[in-house]
């Protein structure tokens, strides 16, 4: 993307007014999205963006500027601006010599680059999903389907001598179905995504995605309003990982810990969860939605154990927070685009399987809520309080899954929820989503086995 | 970058429209400054300039869209061809035609002064000083505040231009400034957070004192909060919460949702959907609104749109396409999330017409109830089709007309239609806030609170 000698000279400009650390992050991204609604392809859109963000760190101050102009002149101007923003002059770090070529994986590692696939083939997937969803039932009134792929090539270099690149390709398929019945209109959605090219459709069948979305909407037709109060909650495999992403993951991000905005501050080595709970964050795991070769600071992705058998083992780190603490980054420095500063972000965050069977967990629950799909959620990391929308759930009565319920929120506290996990299953699944933090969205996955939280507040609408 | 230059960029593109082809180009450019401080020092300082172009092409009713996140000529040059190619794959839709020059002249353009030249002259050191004083003030107001989670100053000078081969041409610019602070009160598990902010069009408009005081009050008054037992009770919304609730209403009164049948208000035009003293208006021509704008995202003049008048549903917000489909025409309500998306539909300055009662009066009228300071899970907890909603909430119980015990970890639930009909009081305290809606205190007769 940029010649090594230009990168080196840009780093030197960035440190020309002093500073401990400088970094150039260049990015070239292309995206395709297609959307079908009411049986018709509404829109095919393509986008392209390209540019570089430059930061200069001096003490605890970071100066940042970005440019869409990747010429040496454009980069130098941004480097000047970042240097000026990082405050007054002073001693400057030396720019370490960069390797002759950036380190990084050979190519994107995907089998079929989406850009080599015709737009016709992408659009055809939408039509298949539309038919499959409508075939499910005459009660399906509306179907929308969307296809999206993105290729993101990045190059990172810093004054410590890091010089790395990555070619990240992601593909996602989404179906939303609306069913109509006596209880009104109800919506079901399914949206799998992977860090893969078009070969994702060897694993993901558009018709199956459509059937899941349609069935979710149809289930809600016969659902009654969810109960309210404190109940045992069983989370089906895959469905509840996002709860742990919110409820404990964010509180384990070193930048929030540093700001004293985490209930987990100063608690490494302490028991913070049920002994059944082990949580890892792993940016190198498979080809999940949050997988990459290097993070957006050039650190290779790796597996980090955050909570082991209930004991807090470590936080997640980016370069700046790790430098201040005198330790290496954990590969969690990410940013939405070159126009954003990196910060500590999760990748693929998983609660690991245990020994119980899912059937036993449900059978052992006298009365509770069985959650099959959760919508979005949010957490206040300083207090640990979280809230989640439940999009598909059933009552558990006398150890049996009985009738579906709708319109519920789960509300609780992250620390409490971790302590209250009292059964962990031997199955496992993952879920793809976009994690938002301080206005930046990045692709992540979350995952867990079927498990039970002994008590959470369920806010339903049953009167 | 000047407005003239952006207009040149979009004119150059639409001039290349082929016979039988409708082309619209949108370009935007923004210069932003962001300062974050922490413990008396600048933590991050970003100065950035960005821009991009989005092109919509309609051929025989087929719509194609392409964008580029750059104003670099080599990248901009390819966008029109890309959008043309994309149009080949879309199904024809008779409602896709772009607005015409006549549409643009149908309504006068509001004369709005949203740009402050002096912002460009404000030295960076003043911006840093404001952020530092904001943090310091918040930290020093109350001994129960143990820290400041974040303190921030931001400004932006934004320009945009739209042109089309059908004769639309519009350019506008605005400046915005904001500062915000989040205070941490209490220790460990008892920690409570509170948020305060101020917005304006130049640095001098900002009121960091009030932002700091709000953050401190909102965090400290929640100290000792606990869940309370489930019950049904009157609920008073803080102006910030009312703004969020109006956001839900805005989505439900959106022409896109309406033409696709995805709204609880479908077919209810002319019906009583709210209590008689509820009047809801979206007026982007009011310069006090943060979302004020003379033109919508298609380059058509914005206008005042009454959505609910004295409790009766008067209509929906529309862009050109949804307005034609619905047979009522555009309401000048096209919005876009920037150059990377084609125009959709949305509110810019949604507001309830204020009533006569002050917030204190409203608490007295509520008697015993729940004052909601903040809600969470708005997106996940609301079904725009059925109107069911269930939100995480924190706030204070109201006892004998006064704020009393703090409450957390509860949910409040109702349906939007039921809540609208049950609005007891609309406050007099119109509060201009960032975002697309305006806040005030609101009293709803009864909602379900779920807690311990």
Which among B46, B193, B380 has the least Cβ separation from residue A383? B193
From residue B286, give the alpha-carbon distance in Å to each of A455, B112, B439.
Answer: 49, 8, 15
Q: Are residues A207 and A285 in the same domain?
A: no
B3-220, CATH topology level: PmbA/TldD fold (3.30.2290)
- Please give the residue range of the domain that contains residue A430: 224-459
* Interface check A69 vs B, CB under 8 A: yes
- Among chain A residues, CA nearest to B86: A44
Residues 190-229 of chain B with CB under 8 A from chain A are: 191-193, 227
pLDDT in tens, A110-167: 999 999 999 999 999 999 999 999 999 999 999 999 999 999 999 999 999 999 999 9
Cβ contacts (< 8 Å) between B63 and chain A: which residues? 42-43
* Interface check B343 vs A, CB under 8 A: no
* Per-residue confidence (pLDDT) for residue A388, from 0 to 100: 86
From residue B130, give the alpha-carbon distance in Å to each of A61, B37, B181, B204, B205.
Answer: 17, 10, 12, 10, 12
Q: Are residues A171 and A259 in the same domain?
A: no
B85/A86 touch (CB, cutoff 8 Å), yes or no? no
Cβ contacts (< 8 Å) between A33 and chain B: which residues? none
* Interface check B252 vs A, CB under 8 A: no
Final residue of a structural domain among A180, A204, A221 = A221
* Per-residue confidence (pLDDT) for residue A284, from 0 to 100: 97
* Interface check A60 vs B, CB under 8 A: yes
Q: Are residues A199 and A232 in the same domain?
A: no
- The closest of B354, B357, B358, B370 to B413, measured between CA atoms, is B370
Q: Are residues A155 and A289 in the same domain?
A: no
* Per-residue confidence (pLDDT) for residue B3, from 0 to 100: 57
Cβ contacts (< 8 Å) between B417 and chain A: which residues? none
Final residue of a structural domain among A180, A206, A221 = A221
From residue A144, give the alpha-carbon distance in Å to each of A19, A446, B63, B345.
Answer: 51, 25, 17, 18
Q: Are residues A208 and A312 in the same domain?
A: no
A62/B52 touch (CB, cutoff 8 Å), yes or no? no
Q: What is the CATH number of the domain that holds A198?
A: 3.30.2290.10
CA distance A68 to chain B (A): 6
* Per-residue confidence (pLDDT) for residue B189, from 0 to 100: 75
- Two tokens, residue B184: 């941490």
- Among chain B residues, CA nearest to A374: B380
Confidence of residue A261 (pLDDT cuts 50, 70, 90): confident
CA distance A226 to chain B (A): 10
Residues 67-126 of chain B with CB under 8 A from chain A are: 67-72, 75, 78, 82, 85-91, 93, 124
A62/B43 touch (CB, cutoff 8 Å), yes or no? yes
- Two tokens, residue B289: 């609104």
* Per-residue confidence (pLDDT) for residue A88, from 0 to 100: 54
Final residue of a structural domain among A221, A241, A273 = A221
Question: pLDDT digit of tens for each residue in chain B (452 aa)?
Answer: 555 699 999 999 999 999 999 999 999 999 999 999 999 999 999 988 899 999 999 999 999 999 999 998 989 999 999 999 999 999 999 999 999 999 999 999 999 999 999 999 999 999 999 999 999 999 999 999 999 999 999 999 999 999 999 999 999 999 999 999 999 999 877 899 999 999 999 999 999 999 999 999 999 999 999 999 999 999 999 999 999 999 999 999 999 999 988 888 999 999 999 999 999 999 999 999 999 999 999 999 999 999 999 999 999 999 999 999 999 999 999 999 999 999 999 999 999 999 999 999 999 999 999 999 999 888 777 777 778 888 999 999 999 999 999 999 899 988 899 999 999 999 999 998 888 899 999 999 999 998 87
Give the whole-number percent of chain A exceeding pLDDT 70: 98
From residue B383, give the alpha-carbon distance in Å to each of A70, A75, A395, A399, B323.
Answer: 45, 47, 20, 30, 24
Confidence of residue A59 (pLDDT cuts 50, 70, 90): confident
* Interface check A402 vs B, CB under 8 A: no
A66: pLDDT strictly greater than 90: yes
A142/B52 touch (CB, cutoff 8 Å), yes or no? no
Dist. CA B14–CA B17, nearest whole Å: 5
Which among A184, A375, A461 has the least Cβ separation from residue B413? A461
For every residue of A306-323, DSSP letters joined together read EEETTEE---B--HHHHH
* Per-residue confidence (pLDDT) for residue A463, from 0 to 100: 59
Q: What are phi and psi of A4, to 5 degrees?
A: -55, -40
CA distance A95 to chain B (A): 22
Which candidate in B125, B258, B413 is best for mutational testing of the A interface (most A CBs within 10 A)?
B413
Cβ contacts (< 8 Å) between B452 and chain A: which residues? 230, 457
Dist. CA A409–CA B390, nearest whole Å: 6
* Interface check A397 vs B, CB under 8 A: no
Q: Are residues A306 and A453 in the same domain?
A: yes
Q: Are residues A210 and A274 in the same domain?
A: no
B89/A119 touch (CB, cutoff 8 Å), yes or no? yes
A218: pLDDT strictly greater than 60: yes
Q: Are residues A148 and A250 in the same domain?
A: no
pTM: 0.93
- Among chain B residues, CA nearest to A255: B149
A45/B65 touch (CB, cutoff 8 Å), yes or no? yes
* Interface check A118 vs B, CB under 8 A: no
Which among B66, B189, B413 has the least Cβ separation from residue A415? B189
Strands (E), A77-197: 140-158, 163-181, 184-190, 193-194
B191/A263 touch (CB, cutoff 8 Å), yes or no? yes
A64/B342 touch (CB, cutoff 8 Å), yes or no? no
- Kindly state the average pLDDT of the residues A198-204: 96
* Interface check B188 vs A, CB under 8 A: yes
- The closest of B203, B174, B198, B29 to B112, measured between CA atoms, is B174
Q: Are residues A216 and A352 in the same domain?
A: no
Count of A-B CB contacts under 8 Å = 249
Query: Considering its fold, how many domains does chain A have in total?
Result: 2
More confident residue, A92 or B281: B281
Dist. CA B350–CA B348, nearest whole Å: 6
Q: Are residues A125 and A239 in the same domain?
A: no
Residue A139 has what DSSP assignment? T
* Per-residue confidence (pLDDT) for residue B1, from 0 to 100: 57
> The dihedral of CA A99, A104, A107, A113: what is its sign?
negative
Q: Are residues A196 and A242 in the same domain?
A: no
Q: Are residues A171 and A231 in the same domain?
A: no
> Domain residues of chain B, as ranges?
3-220, 231-450
Cβ contacts (< 8 Å) between A63 and chain B: which residues? 45-46
Residues in a beta bridge with A303: A282
């Amino acid at each position: 993307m940029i010649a090594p000698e230009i990168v080196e000279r840009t780093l030197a400009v960035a440190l020309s007014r002093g500073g401990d650390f400088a970094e150039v992050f260049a990015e070239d991204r292309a995206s395709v999205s297609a959307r079908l609604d009411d049986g018709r392809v509404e829109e095919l859109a393509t986008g392209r963006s390209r540019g570089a963000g430059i930061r200069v760190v001096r003490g605890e101050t970071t100066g940042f500027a970005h440019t869409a102009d990747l010429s040496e002149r454009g980069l130098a101007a941004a480097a000047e601006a970042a240097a000026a923003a990082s405050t007054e002059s002073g001693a400057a770090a030396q720019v370490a010599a960069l390797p002759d070529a950036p380190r990084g994986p050979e190519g994107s590692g995907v089998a079929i680059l989406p850009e080599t696939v015709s737009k016709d083939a992408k659009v055809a997937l939408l039509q298949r999903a539309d038919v499959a969803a409508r075939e499910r039932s005459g009660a399906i009134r509306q179907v929308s389907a969307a296809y999206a792929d993105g290729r993101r090539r990045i190059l990172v270099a810093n004054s410590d001598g890091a010089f790395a690149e990555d070619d990240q390709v992601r593909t996602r398929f989404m179906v939303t179905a609306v069913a109509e019945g006596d209880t009104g209109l109800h919506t079901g959605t399914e949206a799998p995504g992977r860090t893969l090219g078009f070969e994702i459709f060897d694993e993901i069948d558009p018709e199956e995605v459509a059937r899941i979305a349609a069935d979710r909407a149809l289930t809600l037709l016969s659902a009654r309003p969810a109960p309210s109060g404190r109940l045992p909650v069983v989370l089906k495999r895959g469905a509840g990982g996002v709860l742990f992403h919110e409820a404990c993951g964010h509180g384990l991000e070193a930048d929030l810990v540093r700001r004293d905005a985490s209930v987990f501050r100063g608690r490494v080595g302490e028991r913070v969860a049920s002994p059944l709970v082990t949580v890892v964050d792993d940016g190198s795991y498979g080809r999940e939605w949050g997988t990459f070769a290097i993070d957006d600071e050039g650190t290779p992705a790796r597996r980090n154990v955050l909570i082991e058998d209930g004991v807090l083992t470590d936080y997640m780190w980016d370069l700046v927070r790790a430098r201040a603490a005198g330790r290496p980054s954990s590969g969690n420095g990410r940013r939405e685009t070159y126009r954003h500063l990196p910060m500590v972000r999760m990748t693929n965050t998983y609660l690991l399987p245990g020994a119980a069977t899912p059937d036993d967990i449900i059978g052992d629950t006298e009365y509770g809520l069985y959650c099959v799909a959760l919508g979005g959620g949010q957490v206040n990391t300083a207090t640990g309080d979280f809230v989640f929308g439940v999009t598909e759930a059933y009552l558990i009565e006398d150890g049996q899954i009985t009738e579906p319920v709708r319109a519920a929120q789960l509300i609780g506290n992250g620390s409490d929820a971790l302590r209250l996990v009292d059964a962990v299953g031997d199955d496992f699944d993952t879920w793809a989503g976009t994690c938002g933090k301080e206005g930046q969205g990045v692709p992540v996955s979350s995952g867990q086995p079927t498990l039970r939280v002994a008590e959470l507040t369920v806010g339903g609408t049953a009167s | 970058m000047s407005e003239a230059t952006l207009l040149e960029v979009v004119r150059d593109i639409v001039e290349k429209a082929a016979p039988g082809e409708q082309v619209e180009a949108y370009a935007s450019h923004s210069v932003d400054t962001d300062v974050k401080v922490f413990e008396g020092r600048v933590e991050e300082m970003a100065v950035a300039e960005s821009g991009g172009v989005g092109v919509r092409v309609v051929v025989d009713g087929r719509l194609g869209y392409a964008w580029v996140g750059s104003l670099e000529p080599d990248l901009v040059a390819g966008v029109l061809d890309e959008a043309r190619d994309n149009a080949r794959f879309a199904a024809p839709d008779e409602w896709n035609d772009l607005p015409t020059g006549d549409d643009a002249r149908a309504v006068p353009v509001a004369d709005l002064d949203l740009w402050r030249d002096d912002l460009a002259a404000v030295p960076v050191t003043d911006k840093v000083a404001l952020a530092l004083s904001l943090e310091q003030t918040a930290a020093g107001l109350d001994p129960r505040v143990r820290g400041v989670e974040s303190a921030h100053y931001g400004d932006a000078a934004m320009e945009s231009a739209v042109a089309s081969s059908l004769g639309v041409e519009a350019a506008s610019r605005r400046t915005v400034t904001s500062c915000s602070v989040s205070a941490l009160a209490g220790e460990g598990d008892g920690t409570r957070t509170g948020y305060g902010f101020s917005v304006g069009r130049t640095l001098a408009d900002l009121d960091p004192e009030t932002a700091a005081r709000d953050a401190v009050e909102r965090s400290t008054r929640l100290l000792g909060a606990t869940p309370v037992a489930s019950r049904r009770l009157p609920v008073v919304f803080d102006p910030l919460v009312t703004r969020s609730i109006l956001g839900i209403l805005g989505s439900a009164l959106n022409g896109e949702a309406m033409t696709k049948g995805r709204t609880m208000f479908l077919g209810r035009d002319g019906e009583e959907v709210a209590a008689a003293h509820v009047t809801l208006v979206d007026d982007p021509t009011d310069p006090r609104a943060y979302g004020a704008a003379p033109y919508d995202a298609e380059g058509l003049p914005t206008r005042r749109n009454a959505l609910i008048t004295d409790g009766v549903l008067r209509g929906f917000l529309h862009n050109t396409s949804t307005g034609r489909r619905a047979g009522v025409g555009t309401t000048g309500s096209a919005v876009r999330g920037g150059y990377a998306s084609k125009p959709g539909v949305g509110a810019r300055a949604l507001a309830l017409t204020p009533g006569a009662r002050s917030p204190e009066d409203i608490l007295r009228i509520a008697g015993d109830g729940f004052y909601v300071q903040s809600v969470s899970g708005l997106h996940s907890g609301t079904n725009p089709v059925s109107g069911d909603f269930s939100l995480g909430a924190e706030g204070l119980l109201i006892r004998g007309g006064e704020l009393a015990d703090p409450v957390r970890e509860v949910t409040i639930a109702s349906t939007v239609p039921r809540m609208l009909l049950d609005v007891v009081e609309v406050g007099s305290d119109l509060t201009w806030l960032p975002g697309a809606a305006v806040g005030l205190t609101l009293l709803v007769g009864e909602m379900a609170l779920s807690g311990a």
